[in-house]
Amino acid sequence: MDWMALFDYVVRWGHYLFGITWIGLLYYFNFVQGGYMAQASDEAKVDAFTKLVPSALWWFRYGALLTFLTGLVLLLLVLHDKSWTVDIILASTMATLMFLNVWGIIWPNQKVVIASNEAVAGGGEADPNAAGSAAKALLASRTNTFFSAPMLFLMGSHSEFIRGPFDVDTGAPASWLGLILGLVIIAVIEANAIWGKTMVLTTVKGVITSSIVLAVVMAVVATL
């Protein structure tokens, strides 16, 4: 038996499984829960943030962690085969930033919101910082949704029409234009996630449309 091939297969299976868990919950938060919270009563929001949201966020963040770790293993296998391509590099960059957004922005800020609602549920006062934390978490979550369509497209396509930044046979540099342009676009979007505003990402329609447009842009960029 080829144990290395089996290992590769199991890691890929785990990457898909954990990724479905992560992105599925990401879409739930943005497309379902957000709309409910906008219409729910204060009492319903407190109940959701003390009972439902903490559990959903646990699956969400550990789904992200395991997706990232299995993806890292796959990248090392790809690196060993010297088969890096622009699509994989750009997709991996977006996926890594999405993972960092979960653990570095969304979860820390959601902990503040959850703690505030727990205080209210216990008869105390809401944390005045909760609104600001909720806004930061929302922007990072919408940014992850924005990244999701192009990331999944580039990660899954890996087509022959997309070239790598290096010639696999000679190691000589190929065209760097697509790689550099793609990384600049990603950096600008991530900078907005940290310091900017939701803008077109405010609505569900806006974030879905923007994500699809970005997927098309990244597909074109990756072929340059």
Query: What pLDDT does 101 receive?
Result: 98
Q: Is the pLDDT of residue 160 over 70?
A: no
Which tops the pLDDT comparison, 113 or 168?
Answer: 113
* Residue 92 · residue 32 · CB < 8 Å: no
Region of 188 on the Ramachandran plot (φ > 0 left; ψ -120 to 50 alpha; else beta): alpha
Closest CA to 175 of 215, 222, 218: 222
Residues 193-202, mean pLDDT to the nearest whole number: 94
Q: How far apart are CA 186 and CA 96, in angstroms?
A: 11
Region of 175 on the Ramachandran plot (φ > 0 left; ψ -120 to 50 alpha; else beta): beta
Q: How far apart are CA 219 and CA 215, in angstroms?
A: 6
pLDDT in tens, 68-102: 999 999 888 866 655 677 888 899 999 999 999 99
What percent of the chain has a predicted confidence (pLDDT) above 90? 75
The sign one gets for the Cα dihedral 222, 219, 144, 16 is negative
What is the band of 44 on the pLDDT scale with cuts at 50, 70, 90? very high
What burial class does residue 169 get, using C-beta atoms within 10 Å of its C-beta: 0-12 exposed, 13-18 middle, 19+ buried? exposed
Query: What pLDDT does 34 receive?
Result: 94
Work out the mean pLDDT of the chain and round it to a whole number. Answer: 90
Q: Structure pTM?
A: 0.92
Closest CA to 98 of 25, 206, 12: 25
Query: What pLDDT does 152 receive?
Result: 94
Q: Is the pLDDT of residue 180 over 80?
A: yes
Query: What pLDDT does 75 receive?
Result: 87
